[in-house]
């Protein structure tokens, strides 16, 4: 399999790194999407910090992977090192207290009666963005970058573009700041997200994302597949594998 094939054309989101926006807080879980977002932020903004959430997710391995993947990124791309600042982790145990999701409770992945997968954690992204806004306020940062998308989004309503726009408006009003929520993957499918990684950092970045990031909901990292580590059967692995197959076809 060649990683050097011509990249699929990738729609570009506005060049938010120019003009008055110089610093960005990236919601960073150590997965394919947020690592691609982090790489892009490091090409666009003078100062980039990362934010992760510990909410009792069953795939707790992501809390370690996000650190090793972040480190691998600046080792592979030393030109980004000076731009990458602090990492922040906030605890959101409250999501475990609410429970009822297969991401936080020990229940099998399944579809709910309302058509959503039971991996949906109600309010998760709303809380993530609210806390990211509060941290950005304290850190004097003007952009929040998040890897949510509507294309391969499992139907999660809190990943929708309208939700992001509404959250941006709420944060701007509630904090009395001009904060931008930048969603570079909003209209990309998983194949196009691989293509974006290729465009940003060539085969080196694609290989880093393949090996160093973690997407699997089950936290499995015992076998390296063509598309990366994972159980291969959970909804997150299926999306990632399908995107890789489409991109490399």
- Min dist CB 96 to Zn ion, Å, is 20
- Tell me whether residue 95 or residue 216 sits nearer to Zn ion (CB atom): 216
Closer to Zn ion by CB, 49 or 212: give it.
Answer: 212
For Zn ion, the closer of residues 39 and 236 by Cβ is 236
73, 231, 239, 241: which one binds Zn ion (CB under 5 A): 231
Distances (CA, A) of 226 to 1, 209, 242: 9, 12, 11
Q: Does 234 bind Zn ion (CB under 5 A)?
A: yes
Shorter beta-carbon distance to Zn ion: residue 80 or 227: 227
| Member of 31, 230, 243, 244 binding Zn ion (CB under 5 A) | 230
Q: What is the DSSP string of the chain?
A: --S-SPPPP-PPPP-TTSTT--EEEEE--SSHHHHHHHHHHHHH-SEEEEEEEES--S-TTHHHHHHHHHHHHHHH-GGGGGGEEEEEEEE-THHHHH--STTTSS----B-TTSSBTT--TTHHHHHHHHHHHHHHHHT--EEE----SSS-TT-GGGSHHHHHHHHHHHHHHHTS--EEE-TTTT--HHHHHHHHHHHHHHHHHHHHHHH----TT---S-EETTEES-SSSHHHHHHHHHHHHHH-
Give the number of residues in contact with Zn ion, rule: CB under 5 A: 6
Shortest Cβ 213–Zn ion spacing (Å): 13
Choose between 77 and 194: whose C-beta lies nearer to Zn ion: 194
Token pair 């940062």 is found at 141
Binding track over 185-224 against Zn ion, x by CB under 5 A: -------------------------------x-x------
Is residue 239 a contact residue for Zn ion (CB under 5 A)? no
Q: Please tell me the distance from the alpha carbon of residue 135 to that of residue 49, in angstroms, as a whole number.
A: 10
From the list 186, 237, 239, 241, which residue makes contact with Zn ion (rule: CB under 5 A)?
Answer: 237
Choice between 218 and 248, CB closer to Zn ion: 218
132 binds Zn ion (CB under 5 A): no
Site string (38-77) toward Zn ion, x via CB under 5 A = ----------------------------------------
Q: Which residues bind Zn ion (CB under 5 A)?
A: 216, 218, 230-231, 234, 237
């Amino acid at each position: 399999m060649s990683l050097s094939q011509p990249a699929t054309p990738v729609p570009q989101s506005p060049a938010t790194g120019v003009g008055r926006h110089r610093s960005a807080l990236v919601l960073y879980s150590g997965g394919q999407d947020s690592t691609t977002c982090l790489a892009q932020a490091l090409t666009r903004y003078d100062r980039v910090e990362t934010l992760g959430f510990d909410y009792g997710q069953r795939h707790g391995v992501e809390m370690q992977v996000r650190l090793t993947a972040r480190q691998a990124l600046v080792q592979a791309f030393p030109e980004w090192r000076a731009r990458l600042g602090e990492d922040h982790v906030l605890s959101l145990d409250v999501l475990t207290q609410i429970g009822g999701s297969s991401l936080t409770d020990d229940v099998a992945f399944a579809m709910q009666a309302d058509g959503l997968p039971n991996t949906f954690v109600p309010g998760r992204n709303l809380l993530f963005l609210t806390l990211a806004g509060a941290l950005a306020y304290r850190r004097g940062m003007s952009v929040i970058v998040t890897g949510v998308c509507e294309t391969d989004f499992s139907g999660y309503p809190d990943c929708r573009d309208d939700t992001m726009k509404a959250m941006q408006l709420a944060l701007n009003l509630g904090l009395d700041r001009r904060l931008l929520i930048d969603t570079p993957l909003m209209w990309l499918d998983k194949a196009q997200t691989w293509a974006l990684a290729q465009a940003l950092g060539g085969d080196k970045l694609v290989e880093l994302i393949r090996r160093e990031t973690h997407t699997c909901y089950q936290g499995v990292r015992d076998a390296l597949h063509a598309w990366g580590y994972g159980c291969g059967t959970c909804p997150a692995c299926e999306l990632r594998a399908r995107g890789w197959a489409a991109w490399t076809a």
